[in-house]
Amino acid sequence: MPRGAPRCPRCKSTLPWVVDADADTFAAETTASVPVVVDFWAAWCGPCRMISPVLEDLAKHHAGHLKVVKVDVDANPALTARFGARSIPLLVVIRNGQEVDRIVGALPRTALEQRLAPALAA
């Protein structure tokens, strides 16, 4: 099991790994031994609100093997600019510290799973 993956204190089962990050915590949150999906989002963005439960469900389905890091673009403009996020939702897939995919827009769950499959299989 990856170091830092959350576990239920009672039953010790692996929990979905979904965290919020800002400029101060981003590097630590995206350094993981599992694929990391960075979700650049905003509260006013309808498609962002649509994809959020899908990402949380994928984190639950792949508990311990996928980490979702959420970055609020309004609260983190420098981090948003660093990744060139001009449209949201923007999902940046990171594996072993390297960006391996970039997904713009809200995809249906099946399409999102297909895009994440190579990172999860590596």
Quick one: residue 83, left, alpha or beta (phi over 0 = left, psi -120 to 50 = alpha)?
alpha
Round to whole Å and give the CA distance between 56 and 26: 19
Q: What is the DSSP letter of 33?
A: S
Catalytic residue among 36, 38, 45, 103: 45
Among 110, 98, 61, 45, residue whose Cα is nearest residue 70 = 45
Does the annotation count 45 as an active-site position?
Answer: yes
User: Which residues, listed in sequence order, are joined to residue 98 by a DSSP beta bridge?
Assistant: 95
Where does the chain have alpha helices with state H? Answer: 26-30, 46-61, 77-82, 109-121
Does the annotation count 8 as an active-site position?
Answer: no
In degrees and rounded to multiples of 5, residue 79 shows phi and psi of -65, -40
Catalytic residue among 34, 48, 66, 92: 48
Q: Which residues are catalytic?
A: 45, 48
